[in-house]
Structure 1
Amino acid sequence: MDPRFAFGTGNTIAMLGWLGLLTSLFVPIARDGVRRTTRLFIPALFGVAYVVLIGQGWSKAVGGGFGSIEQVRALFAVDAALVAGWLHYLAFDLFVGSWIVEDGLTRGINRFALIPCLGLTFLFGPAGLLLFLGLRLLPAREST
């Protein structure tokens, strides 16, 4: 698999997933399809690409591994492994974003309050999750 193709295609697919999540906040009929797509289909697709790319990259990364920062640096110096790592982030962040939408709406968190959570999760994964977990502590004001 060509790492450059996987990178560009993965970015486009992930962006469509994030746009779907934003849409699903305000279009209830879209929620089930978006949830299946962002929680199952896209992460599974990225998982397949990940396995292929990490297999390609691992064999080319002299001294690469996960035992030290130097090994991780050596592994990610190979494009296939680097893109595999990127797809890993895209898949898990999108999965978390899907959970944020579903859990937030179920808890009655204001849809507009969920948008910054999604934005932060898209850009900085754990920071968006942390913001959402903080919102969960506040009393709900909106029902679904």
Structure 2
Amino acid sequence: MANAETLFSLASSAALLGWAILAVAVFLRARDLLVAAARLVAAVLAGLYVALLVRGVALGPSLPEGAGFSTLAGVEALFSRREAILGGWIHFLAFDLFVGTWEAEDAGKRRMPGFLLLPCLVITLLAGPAGLLLYLVSALFWRKR
């Protein structure tokens, strides 16, 4: 498997490609094909995440002492290794991009204009849950019109 820095660059570039596809889709009436292409990128990232997870669990060294999900210190210990940070990063890339594809798909069904959707996608790219919240509020506003 490629080294961590190479995987980081490849995954980040792939995610940006997916977001670029979504940015173009925002202004097209026929969004479905482009949203599906961006969703495919998210699926590839999810596959890479699973491969890293399986490799880390099956072939990696034992977890650092105190690592786990029940305390903040345990999570900090869990992410004390570079490979775990890479996996976490790819997790974010895949999930945020998938959320962006859902927003674009849902906005198409609502006939929400691109000028409302695009800021939501940008915020979702930069700060996932904040972008999702902005989209949900925008969709609620758009529905009430």
- TM-score for the superposition, normalised by structure 2: 0.85
What residue number does 1:26 align with?
Answer: 27
> In the TM superposition, what whole-angstrom CA distance separates every residue of 1:80-110 from its partner, at most 9, and x where no partner exists?
1111111111111101101111111221222
| Distance in 2 between residues matched to 1:55 and 1:36, nearest whole Å | 26
CA change 1:47–1:3 in 2 (3 A) is same
The answer to whether the Cα contact below 8 Å between 1:109 and 1:135 also exists between their aligned partners in 2 is no
Instruction: Structure 1 unaligned segments of length 5 or more: list them.
Output: none
Instruction: Structure 2 unaligned segments of length 5 or more: list them.
Output: none
How far apart are 1:13 and its partner, in Å?
0.3
Larger relative contact order (Cα-Cα within 8 Å, sequence gap ≥ 6) = 2
Matching residue's letter, 2:110: R
Report the aligned-residue RMSD: 2.1
Matching residue's letter, 1:45: V
What residue number does 1:72 align with?
Answer: 75
What residue number does 1:6 align with?
Answer: 7
| Distance in 2 between residues matched to 1:52 and 1:85, nearest whole Å | 13
What residue number does 1:107 align with?
Answer: 110
| Distance in 2 between residues matched to 1:139 and 1:114, nearest whole Å | 11
Report the identity percentage.
39
* 1:62 equivalent in alignment to 2:96: no
* 1:132 equivalent in alignment to 2:131: no
Q: How many equivalent residue pairs? A: 140
- TM-score for the superposition, normalised by structure 1: 0.86
The answer to whether the Cα contact below 8 Å between 1:57 and 1:78 also exists between their aligned partners in 2 is no
> In the TM superposition, what whole-angstrom CA distance separates every residue of 1:55-96 from its partner, at most 9, and x where no partner exists?
444544412222221121112111111111111111111011
The answer to whether the Cα contact below 8 Å between 1:3 and 1:80 also exists between their aligned partners in 2 is yes
| Distance in 1 between residues matched to 2:25 and 2:102, nearest whole Å | 12
| Distance in 1 between residues matched to 2:4 and 2:138, nearest whole Å | 38
Alignment of 1:82-121 (within 5 A): 82-121=85-124
Moved more, 86-95 or 58-67: 58-67
